[in-house]
Amino acid sequence: MDEDSLMSKLAVTLFGVYLIVLNLALLVLLVFMWQEQGEAVLSLGKFIVPRGSEGHHFLMVAAAGAFGSYIHLATSFAEYAGNRSLAKAWTWWYILRPLIGAFVGVILFIGLLMLTSGSDLKPYALVFIGMTGGLLSKQLAAKFSEVFDVLFRPRPELVRSQPEPRTITGSR
């Protein structure tokens, strides 16, 4: 790989600082979401998400999904930065990975809600679902794609044979 396609030492350092700040922010967010005290998790004017509501669970799973994908991206960053082979072209992958993990965690949570009542889910289960979704988002997306390809495969065109023309013979 040529030098122009690699991140500079300054860019790698700044990106590493970004990842440390992201790690701390996600950790603080998860701890804040986990607490049972207080009336609302989020309050923006008339938009209020009370603790223990499904909205609270969605936010908790999304935060855990982002944290799970953070584990994946931080491991990748450390490996490539350590090998001095961190390419500029991957910058957006590193930035968007936590968002992708958050959404995959929420998708898994919705799937679990479809299978259960969801009323007895503990915070441990919510965080596990989210982190698993975030950490394995690439593999889960590939598996979902395989399943949907099989389930929703277009039918092959039916080839209908033309009936043989009938000839009427005989008398009445």
Question: Which backbone phi and psi does 72 adopt, to 5 degrees?
Answer: -65, -50
Per the DSSP assignment, residues forming a β-bridge with 48 are 43
Alpha-carbon span 73 to 95, nearest angstrom: 9
CA separation for the pair 40, 58 (Å, rounded): 14
Q: In angstroms, rounded to a whole number, what is the distance separating the alpha carbons of residues 113 and 160?
A: 44
Q: What is the pLDDT of residue 75?
A: 92
pLDDT digits (tens, 9 = 90+) for 17-55: 999 999 999 998 888 887 766 676 777 777 777 777 778
> Could you give the angle at the alpha carbon of 128 between the alpha carbons of 149 and 142, nearest 5°?
20
pLDDT for 119 equals 64
pLDDT of residue 46: 73
| pLDDT attached to residue 158 | 60
Q: Of the candidates 56, 66, 55, which has an alpha carbon nearest to the alpha carbon of residue 102?
A: 66
Give 74's contacts (C-beta < 8 A, 6+ positions apart): 19, 23
DSSP state of 41: E
| Sign of the Cα pseudo-torsion (50, 55, 59, 126, in order) | positive
Segments making up each domain of the chain, as ranges: 3-139
Give the model's pLDDT for residue 131.
87
State how far the Cα of 152 lies from the Cα of 47, in Å rounded to an integer: 38
Write the DSSP symbol of residue 98.
Answer: H
- The per-residue pLDDT for 67 is 92
- Please tell me the predicted confidence (pLDDT) of residue 161: 67
Q: What was the pLDDT predicted at 141? A: 80
Listed as ranges, residues in the chain with pLDDT below 50 are none
